[in-house]
Structure formats: structure tokens, C-alpha cells
Amino acid sequence: MRGVLWVLLLPACGGNFVDRTPRCEHDVFDWFGGLVEHLDKGDGLAFNYEPEQGHIAKVAGGYITNNADTDFYWYTTYSNGYYLTKSTTQGIGTAYENGDVDLLLVEDVEDVLGDTWRYVSREERGGCKGRISEMSSDTDSLDWSDFQVQLNNNSRVTDYNIVSKDRIEYTQTYKASGSVSSDRTGFWLSNLTGRYTETWENGQSEGSSEMDVSFDGTASEAFWAEYPSNDGRQERTGTRLYNFDGSQRAEYTQGRVGQEPDWEIVEDVSYDGSEEAVWTASDGTVCDLEVDVEGRCTYECDNGQSGNC
């Protein structure tokens, strides 16, 4: 695959990697993320710049010719206070001066807790249309052939279309098994915001959401979910805010499907998994819940009840 993907890249001037006749009639490469954008903001085949997204402090990297494992790399440094700290991306393939790409890459991410994980993705774009296949991976080595096989068998696939210089529309599908799936439809805008709707199934649970994504790495969601419980099928309906530091605040109702909700819930979850929540029952009873980082949950209600969740 490496020999198929790699072609000689022509020299490029800083800020002008994409030539004046991109294959797509809509030139989005000054804002649309990825290797072409990075090179377009760089000098020759290297780049080091501060993106406009509020949660990213710097991106630096380039093409290399003296490494047997990779053709290109870049480092991403995230802004202070964000829940991620840094990531390293490396891969094989080609970013063409007409805006097309054929890339296979891995991204190793680290967060503020010191945890790390790896994403693998393949992006192919010709003209205005592209496809991104991506997955999580536990593989430590750089076996590109094995990565491609894994992507073919178990990946989240995004098909996108550049419809104007300010808008990219996409659909995303994920079919991990017969009972686990999701479908997403959305768009990205040149002001670095986006929106999508999603439906999902996970065993006997299902749900939907409408998500608005901000340029600064935060997001807001309106959601609905239904799932089984010992007290019959339950549903939740509400909103959730995804904060810059990785914490979340949710406000939703919960109760049996088709009936008036039993609870109104306000929930604050820290990035480390600890949680504080207030559950207000339909009869007026108020219960305070706490969850520690180990997942232990306790509650105390104003009617005198308390214990483990």
C-alpha cells in the first residue's frame, strides 16, 4: 500500500500549497482540517502555526523522507484548560497540490489525566467528495497493512461533500454488530462550527440527539434515550452541555416510557468521572447523589432515605 500511495510532491510556497486550480471548484482548504490545510499554512513541506480553533494552541509537522515507517507527521498542542493536552499524528500517503488526499494515519492522544489512546483513520478525497474511515486501536506498532484490514472490518465511515467554500455536508455510519449501530447527518462550516443529528442503537437501548459544535471545542446537545430497567423500559429526554475542560452538565427527565416522568435531574459530571446530581421526584422528594472517581454512588434524600445507588 505504501508504494501505491506515495508519489513525489512538488515544492510549495508557504500559504500556497494548494495550487490555483484545485480539483474541487470550492476551495475550503484554508479552514477544512487535515494535512492539506496544514501544508497550505506552512513553508515548503513543513508547517508550524496556530489554528483558529479556540481549543488548539499549535500544529507543527511536515513531510519527511528519511523515515522507514512514515511519510508525514504532525504534533497538536491543545490550549490550557482543555481536557486534552497533546496528540501525535503520523501516517503514509499523499496530499496533492490540487486538494486531493489519499492518507492512512494514526493519532495518539493524551489527556489531562495522563491517559492515552490511539485512533486510526483512512481519508480519500477526489475533487469535492471524500470519505474518512476511522476506529480506535490497541495496536502499539505501525503495521499499516494490518491497520487497513482493521478499518475494513470495523470502522466508522464518514462520506462528505464540499458544497460551497463555507459548507461541507456529511453522513456517517457505524455498524459494529447487528445490535450496535449509529447514523449521523450533519455539516461543518467555515466559521469552524458544525451541527448534526444522530440516531443510535446499542443492544436493547436506543436514542437520538441533535448536536451543535462550537469553534472553541465545546458543544450542546438535545437528546432522547430509551433503555430497559428492572422497573420496565425507561426513557430520558433533555439537554447536555460539553464544557471546555471536559466536564458535562445535563438537565433531563426520566420515567417509564409513555408515562409522566418520575424524576427531574440536574447532573454535573467532571472529566475524571466523578459526579454530583440532584434528582427531584414527581412527589417533590429531592435526593442528592454523589459518584466518586471509582464509580461508587451514594444518595441522600430529604425524606430521610439514603444509601448506595
SS3 state of residue 44: coil
pLDDT tens digits, one per residue of 92-134: 999 999 999 999 999 999 999 999 999 999 999 999 999 999 9
E strands along the chain, which residues? 46-49, 56-63, 72-78, 84-95, 101-111, 116-126, 129-137, 156-164, 167-175, 180-189, 194-202, 205-213, 219-227, 234-242, 248-256, 263-269, 275-281, 286-291, 297-301, 306-308
pLDDT of 231 reads 83
Q: Does 255 reside within a domain? A: no
Q: Does 175 reside within a domain? A: no
Q: Does 209 reside within a domain? A: no
Please give the torsion angle defined by the CA atoms of residues 261, 263, 265 and 271, in that order, rounded to the nearest 10 degrees.
-100
pLDDT tens digits, one per residue of 194-245: 999 999 999 999 999 999 999 999 999 999 999 999 888 999 999 999 999 9
DSSP 24: S
Q: Does 204 reside within a domain? A: no
pTM over 0.85: yes
pLDDT of 195 reads 98
Contact between 198 and 209 (Cβ < 8 Å): yes
pLDDT of 15 reads 54
| Banded model confidence at residue 69, pLDDT cuts 50, 70, 90 | confident
Structural domain of residue 79, as residue ranges? Answer: 2-158
For all residues of the chain together, what is the average pLDDT?
Answer: 92
Residues 6+ apart with CB under 8 A from 153: none
Q: Does 50 reside within a domain? A: yes
Contact between 308 and 294 (Cβ < 8 Å): no
pLDDT of 153 reads 82
Q: Residue 52 above 70 pLDDT? A: yes
**CA pair distance 223, 225, nearest whole angstrom:** 7
Q: Count how many domains the chain has.
A: 1
Q: Does 147 reside within a domain? A: yes
Please state the rounded mean pLDDT for residues 155-172.
97
Give the residue, 252 or 176, on which the prediction is more confident.
Answer: 252
Q: Does 243 reside within a domain? A: no
In 3D space, the residue among 61, 35, 64, 68 whose CA is nearest the CA of residue 143 turns out to be 68
**CA pair distance 119, 71, nearest whole angstrom:** 18
Q: What proportion of the chain, given as a percentage, has pLDDT over 70? A: 95
| Banded model confidence at residue 3, pLDDT cuts 50, 70, 90 | very low
Please state the rounded mean pLDDT for residues 15-26.
82
Q: Does 283 reside within a domain? A: no
| Banded model confidence at residue 36, pLDDT cuts 50, 70, 90 | very high
